[in-house]
Amino acid sequence: MAKVLNAKIVQNLPWEERPEGYFLPVWRYSKNPIINRNVNRVIERTFNSGFVPFNGEFVGVFRGDNYAAQFNLYVGRSKDALHFELDETPIQFVDKDGKPASKNRYSYDPRVVELEGSYYIIFADEFDEVTIGIAKTDDFKTFTKLEYPFLPNCRNGALFPRKINGKYMMLSRPSDNASSFFGNIFISESKDMEYWGHHRLLTRNCWANWNNVKCGGGPIPIETDEGWLVIIHGVFYNVNTYVYSMGAMILDRDDPTKILYKCKNFILTPQEPYEINGHTPNVVFPTNVLVGENGKLAIYYGAADDCTCVAFTTVDTLIDYIKEHDCQNQK
């Protein structure tokens, strides 16, 4: 049995057992979506977001697309990680001196990670064009924007939840300024969270047909005694549309530039009406995961750029499936 390491265990994790007769490694919550359209008076749609346990509830940063089709970041809260209330005022970032940071036209697709007693938000941000932004908060009230780690164009940042060999590490996906026809996952490191380098290609797309266009990071990596469990997304071009699916791989604990196992199969792909039909059809896009007792996982994902959903698995189920369908070590 794989052991989860250095993770905050959620005692009241949302959970449903795998349906009888269902043989795939990840199964959907029966009451999806958990956040539908027309969220409040300001936000029309929310999806591709991140949150963590905080002060007895769940608090995080959510992508909110308003009724003028503009997208910003908003604080959201929940008592049970299923029913959420989102602020109606976007986050107002400050710089390191506490002064208002420059306002951008858009910010979107945040991930949230607890690291060294603070909470870091990794998101797509306008920096001439699009790149990864980093902000830090201790209370989810004041958000301090840090230096941009990468030049445009770059997205899908996933910051590891601890230093590895004395260095911060992050996954990213260089891209163009639109829906790229390419995309590979890179890994980078930093001694101080300000200057990033030693960029290494972790994996190219197209190790399987479900990611024949691009692949990118998903939620924050989960540390286990088997290695870093990394959930990703991959994109398949099917005649006249993109199809976004969820995949997974395992990285070496001490050197995450090394892939130990990489799953040839997707672990979840658009099948339900709320994933197939929507603002952007055929999208399953994972950005958040909560860890419960006995290795239970609740994976939160955006569906069709329309709504927020959750699916379930366990660490053992996922690791076993990755190893069973591994293509990293094929000869």
What is the spatial distance between Cα 122 and Cα 48, in angstroms, rounded to a whole number?
12
DSSP 175: -
Q: Does the pLDDT of residue 180 top 90, yes or no? A: no
Q: What is the domain extent for residue 41?
A: 9-324
Section 166-181 average pLDDT: 84
Report the CATH number at residue 289: 2.115.10.20
Residue 4 lies in a domain: no
Count of domains forming the chain: 1
What is the spatial distance between Cα 147 and Cα 67, in angstroms, rounded to a whole number?
30
Residue 163 lies in a domain: yes
What is the spatial distance between Cα 127 and Cα 17, in angstroms, rounded to a whole number?
43
Q: Does the pLDDT of residue 242 top 80, yes or no? A: yes
Predicted local confidence at residue 179, as pLDDT: 62
Q: What is the phi/psi pair of residue 180, to 5°?
A: -55, 150
Predicted local confidence at residue 177, as pLDDT: 66
Section 98-116 average pLDDT: 95
Q: Does the pLDDT of residue 176 top 80, yes or no? A: no
Q: What are the tens digits of pLDDT across the range 3-56?
A: 999 999 999 999 999 999 999 999 999 999 999 999 999 999 999 999 999 999
Residue 20 lies in a domain: yes
Residue type, 128: D
Q: Can you spell out the DSSP letters for 72-92? A: EEEEEEESSSSSEEE-SS---
Q: What are the tens digits of pLDDT across the range 44-97?
A: 999 999 999 999 999 999 999 999 999 999 999 999 999 999 999 999 999 999
Residue 257: name the closest of 171, 321, 179, 193 by CA: 171
What is the spatial distance between Cα 301 and Cα 27, in angstroms, rounded to a whole number?
12
Task: State the number of CA atoms in the 13 A half-sphere of 87 facing the CB.
Answer: 16
Residue 127 lies in a domain: yes
User: Which sign does the torsion angle of CA 153, 182, 260, 266 carry?
Assistant: positive
Residue 256 lies in a domain: yes
Q: Tell me the Cα Rg of the chain.
A: 18
Whole-prediction pTM: 0.97
Predicted local confidence at residue 178, as pLDDT: 62
DSSP 210: G
Residue 83 lies in a domain: yes
What is the spatial distance between Cα 134 and Cα 122, in angstroms, rounded to a whole number?
5
Q: Can you spell out the DSSP letters for 242-309? A: EEEEEEEEEE-SS-TTSEEEEBSS-SB---SHHHHSSSSSSBEEEEEEEEEGGGEEEEEEEETTTEEE
Residue 329 lies in a domain: no
Token pair, residue 244, equals: 């976004």
3-state secondary structure of 320: helix
Q: Does the pLDDT of residue 304 top 90, yes or no? A: yes
3-state secondary structure of 9: strand
Residue 134 lies in a domain: yes
Q: Does the pLDDT of residue 283 top 80, yes or no? A: yes
**If you average pLDDT over every residue of the chain, what do you get?**
96
Question: Quick one: pLDDT band at residue 330, thresholds 50, 70, 90?
Answer: confident
Predicted local confidence at residue 175, as pLDDT: 83
What is the spatial distance between Cα 314 and Cα 26, in angstroms, rounded to a whole number?
8
